[in-house]
Structure 1
Amino acid sequence: MKKIVIICWAFCSSFSLHAQDLVKGYVFEDRNENGRKERREKGLPEVAVSNGVEVVLTDEKGAYSLPVSEDNIIFVIKPAGYAVPVGEDNLPRYYYIHKPEGSPELQYKGVEPTGPLPRSVDFALYPREETKEFTAMIFGDPQPYTEKELELFAKGVVEKAKKEEGISFGISLGDLAGDDLDLHPKYVEVMQQTSWPWYNVLGNHDMNYDASSDAHSDESFEKTFGPSAYAFNHGDAHFIVLEDILYPDPRDGQGYWGGFRKDQLDFVENNLKHVDKNRLVVLSFHIPLLHENENSFRDSDRKRLFDLLKDYPNRLAISAHTHLQRHNFYTAEDGWEGASRFHEYNAGTTSGDWYSGQLNEEGVPISTMRDGTPKGYALLRVDGNQYQIDYQVIGKPLEHQIKIFNPKVVANNRGSSSGIFANFYMGDKDDIVEYKIDNGDWRPMNWTAAPDPSFMADVMEWDFMEKLSPGRRPSNPVNSTHLWRGSIPTNLPVGKHTITVRAIDMFGRTFTETSEYTIAEPVPF
């Protein structure tokens, strides 16, 4: 894909329109990829364009018109089989910001005044072959609070991720920075190391906290990344990116709350009118839709989103925010009325447990998350309107999906309250997890809601230290949603024995991992 630094918008004349209430322009096939619509370049019909609420299709000549206010971002919804211009920074350039007066005065700068609306705001598209089978890289919460942590993100994650092959694009699920919004451009510089476009989600730590209204909490984000709610197509999949953070919290004006503004859900509704129901719809946002209590996400917003999607049989939501990894399946109890369960993958994070823990051989914190999931990134593999998800643990082969915890030695023929624990990172309690000892029979393991004992041991090391190590103590463990337990046999011959664990995931794939333990003669009192 040809990279360009600046998109040139075509002006039909130098005359600037004042007090205009419509934005007009063309979506065109930019054959010479110079960003300007030229007479011989044809307009593209039936391409969706939006002002962030309304969505219209271009006519047979590629023309569109939309209502516009003094604070709008107009964007094209990329159709399958085409590419949008991408800057040298790997950011897709599919939008035009219209803020004649610029952003409000804020601690972190927003958009500079854009001046009068051009006579024609045109969007260039490049023909590109797109297969129905593709892979997208998914990052959760880079969240560097300092330039040092940004270096750790670059060295510990991006240096590894950039070696992946066959990636069509990436999505970073918010908290691109940790409150210091001046880090946004530096984060972009780090992500330039990869060779594919990156779409970005607004997180709660990417907001302008001194904004007086939710509508202005994303001004600095817009300056660097563009709209916080948008959509695009790739293959047979339709991707919708949303901001799901209400700030300030409408209940008391303090902090934030998970939810959507009405205009954002109106955009989803208007957008879906133009999306074939056989497509895979993938939603990306920051805060998960959890129905556990009213304090995490506004119920009415989740319900409206569910109602808009209930007639789409192939759908997936992807979120981050929690610094855990889990699968959330929503049913009628949560307000979901569509076919089967609504699947939300709450992705593990690239910062792990906020850059904590012991340092590895590269001097980067291991950052294991509180549920025992190692830090890493996900690979969303799409084939037509179906999907699978892989989790890539940093520094491990892709096949590594299970960590086993077991005692190193037990007494022969003496009962033990110890157990064999298997943390199946991408697991869900409905998955099948089994184990065997040596060449014995497979036995079922029992799903358990408990902290990962391996991570507990790592945390306790910090509390037994008599001299501080470099780095920072990890957060306290929490119950894992993907942990299984089995009893440990002691009635076998003295010596070493092999534990093999196998797990079958929700996509029907089998993963295995092994460990060892020793059976020894009991030591007499």
Structure 2
Amino acid sequence: MSQKRRTFLKSLGLAGVGFTLSPNLLQAQPTKPAKGKDLSIVSLSGKVHNGGKGIAGVAVTDGYNIVLTDASGKYELESNATAEFVYLSVPRGYELPNENSIARFYQRIKPSRNRFKADFALQKLAQDDTKHNFVVWADPQIISEADAEELKTKTAPDLKQLVNSYPANTLFHGIGCGDLVWDKFELFEDYQQAVATAGIPFYQVIGNHDMNLDARTDDGSAEKFKELFGPTYYSFNRGDIHYVVLDDVFFIGTAKKYIGYLTERQLEWLEQDLANVKPGSTVVVNVHIPVYTHQHLRNKEKEEPMGGVVSNRKELYRILKPYKAHIMSGHTHFNEKIFEGDNVIEHVHGTVCGAWWTGPICYDGTPNGYGVYEVDGPEVRWYYKSTGLPKEHQVRAYPAGSVPEKPKHIAANVWNWDPEWKVEWLEDGKDMGSMERITALDPLSVELHAGATKPAKHKWVEPLLTNHMFFAQPSANAKLITIRATDRFKQVFTTQLDLSQQS
């Protein structure tokens, strides 16, 4: 026996076995493979009906494939054991099914002998839904009972009051656009109570702070969200509008790390979903992480943030190309409008919680609040509603000297601005033309957020550069400045600065 052979066997405690030891005895004994994921076929079937009468042409899905109900409202779908829900895209003309205002359009699959039967009862609306409204609550993001009280006693009543300000029976629904809570799952109950107080059906989007942070992959990160709110991607219809909700937060398996990304499964499903929507229709897509923003450009950063935009957004844009699309997003705690080609407008929303419930504004100066959208057929109009303030509040003005870089200029923050707006100013009643738009910090945000000690509640909050600050230089003896902002829908909003009262 060679010295190397003897040394090896000795290290195993087998040196005395001799030359005739079979090499096979030194190999690990085979073990039974672990049981893999169940991929067995599950047959789904059921009926979509109104008082027992079948509803034809309703899209039903397991999250992989989509079928339409037949003339009697029945459907059959060959699924598999990995599918978690069977759910439908509520058709126009029907109430949005909900439980205490939380949308319930799904059933969790519990197969018996590889079959599962799920019927869906829908109620006809008492009115035509061609005209309707919806709101977008971005980032309630409650981390404490104190935050939850703010949501329940300020935001929710504000929305209820807004709804009641419209004519009786005006149709409303809401979108909770992600980060419903801030990693504190016990506060989901408070979020649901706030939604119930608001009193309109709400659909939910999953955000990065709504995920199970101890999941080992993205597949398990939505476990709690699904338990409470159902699937993370789905669609529904109201009037001429087709609404889609997607999950664009991809958890990478370590706490609080994620990227903006749409999985292949969702993109395949979306292609099927939109195949049932007539080209040229208006589609409203709801996500948490913005598909795109210009914040990294304002900050002069070389690369866009992986957790701040959707990396494979070009494919989403391609799928949406045949439609007139609005994308609703949150996540950023600032307000911005993004235009992609001639068919996509993205509404990046200021947040319900502002700068994480530290005060009255987001860190670009946008007030705490939410988006309001008024739909008439395929057309959508919108405005931003500041919590606790009249809906006409669309501009905040600052006297000269408020922005150090422009010491002789008055300033105005027009947070819902887009290129179709006009922002003009008058000096003592004389029309002075347009104000100049310059990327800058909002002075109130600087006052409330700038520096290592502010705000006391969350010291890491800092003001952010924004593209909706406007400037003009008044004359030395000017007394009254009027700022007039006209939105793309010809709504005019004004505010004034009385310079005679300033030293």
Scaled by the length of structure 2, what TM-score is found? 0.83
Q: Which residue of 2 aligns with 1:399?
A: 392
Match of 2:428 among 429, 435, 438: 438
2:197 match: secondary structure: coil
Check the 8 A contact 2:43/2:116 in 1, yes or no. no
TM alignment of 1:128-147, pairs within 5 A: 128=125, 129-147=127-145
Task: Verify: 1:384 aligned to 2:377, yes or no.
Answer: yes
Q: Distance in 2 between matches of 1:395 and 1:520?
A: 28
Check the 8 A contact 2:365/2:445 in 1, yes or no. yes
Q: Distance in 2 between matches of 1:344 and 1:354?
A: 23
Q: Distance in 1 between matches of 2:354 and 2:501?
A: 35
Higher helix fraction (1 or 2): 2
Structure 1 residue 441: Cα displacement = 2.1
Q: Distance in 2 between matches of 1:344 and 1:168?
A: 21
Structure 1 residue 244: Cα displacement = 0.4
Q: Which residue of 2 aligns with 1:260?
A: 262
1:82 match: secondary structure: coil
Check the 8 A contact 1:70/1:99 in 2, yes or no. no
Q: Which residue of 1 aligns with 2:98?
A: 86
Q: Distance in 1 between matches of 2:256 and 2:396?
A: 40
Match of 1:240 among 239, 244, 248: 244
Q: Which residue of 2 aligns with 1:122?
A: 119
Match of 1:315 among 304, 317, 325: 325
Q: Distance in 2 between matches of 1:242 and 1:174?
A: 11
Check the 8 A contact 2:47/2:74 in 1, yes or no. yes
Q: Tell me the amino acid that sits aligned with residue 136 of structure 1.
A: F
Check the 8 A contact 1:428/1:481 in 2, yes or no. no
Q: Distance in 1 between matches of 2:482 and 2:410?
A: 10
Q: Distance in 2 between matches of 1:258 and 1:484?
A: 31
Q: Tell me the amino acid that sits aligned with residue 501 of structure 1.
A: I
Structure 1 residue 187: Cα displacement = 1.5
TM alignment of 1:32-51, pairs within 5 A: 41-51=52-62
Scaled by the length of structure 1, what TM-score is found? 0.79
Q: Which residue of 2 aligns with 1:513?
A: 495
Q: Which residue of 1 aligns with 2:70?
A: 59
TM alignment of 1:109-258, pairs within 5 A: 119-128=116-125, 129-165=127-163, 166-248=170-252, 255-258=257-260
Q: Which residue of 1 aligns with 2:486?
A: 504
Q: Distance in 1 between matches of 2:452 and 2:426?
A: 33
Give the CA RMSD over aligned residues.
2.6
Deviations 1:54-74 (A, max 9, x none): 111111111111232223211
Structure 1 residue 84: Cα displacement = 4.2
Shift in CA distance, 427/417, structure 1 to aligned 2, threshold 3 Å: same
Structure 1 residue 370: Cα displacement = 0.9
Q: Tell me the amino acid that sits aligned with residue 385 of structure 1.
A: P
Q: Tell me the amino acid that sits aligned with residue 479 of structure 1.
A: L
1:441 match: secondary structure: strand
Q: Distance in 2 between matches of 1:477 and 1:118?
A: 55
Task: Verify: 1:371 aligned to 2:371, yes or no.
Answer: no
Check the 8 A contact 2:236/2:243 in 1, yes or no. yes
Q: Tell me the amino acid that sits aligned with residue 458 of structure 1.
A: L
Matched length = 445
Check the 8 A contact 2:425/2:481 in 1, yes or no. yes
Match of 2:437 among 441, 447, 454: 447
Q: Distance in 1 between matches of 2:329 and 2:493?
A: 24
2:174 match: secondary structure: strand
Shift in CA distance, 116/356, structure 1 to aligned 2, threshold 3 Å: farther
Shift in CA distance, 79/512, structure 1 to aligned 2, threshold 3 Å: same
Rg (Cα) greater in structure: 2
2:129 match: secondary structure: coil
Match of 1:425 among 406, 415, 433: 415
Shift in CA distance, 520/149, structure 1 to aligned 2, threshold 3 Å: closer
Deviations 1:423-476 (A, max 9, x none): 012013563211011111232110010001232233469969xxxx98555822
Structure 1 residue 202: Cα displacement = 0.3
Q: Distance in 2 between matches of 1:488 and 1:269?
A: 54
Task: Verify: 1:301 aligned to 2:326, yes or no.
Answer: no
Q: Tell me the amino acid that sits aligned with residue 77 of structure 1.
A: S
Deviations 1:312-363 (A, max 9, x none): 1x210000000111111124xxxxxxxx152100011110000113xxxxxx
- Identity of paired residues, percent? 31
Q: Which residue of 2 aligns with 1:3?
A: none
Q: Distance in 2 between matches of 1:123 and 1:272?
A: 22
Consecutive unaligned residues in structure 2, runs of 5 or more: 1-38, 164-169, 297-303
Structure 1 residue 224: Cα displacement = 0.5
Q: Distance in 2 between matches of 1:155 and 1:474?
A: 26
Consecutive unaligned residues in structure 1, runs of 5 or more: 1-17, 32-40, 101-114, 332-339, 358-365, 410-415
Q: Distance in 1 between matches of 2:463 and 2:343?
A: 29
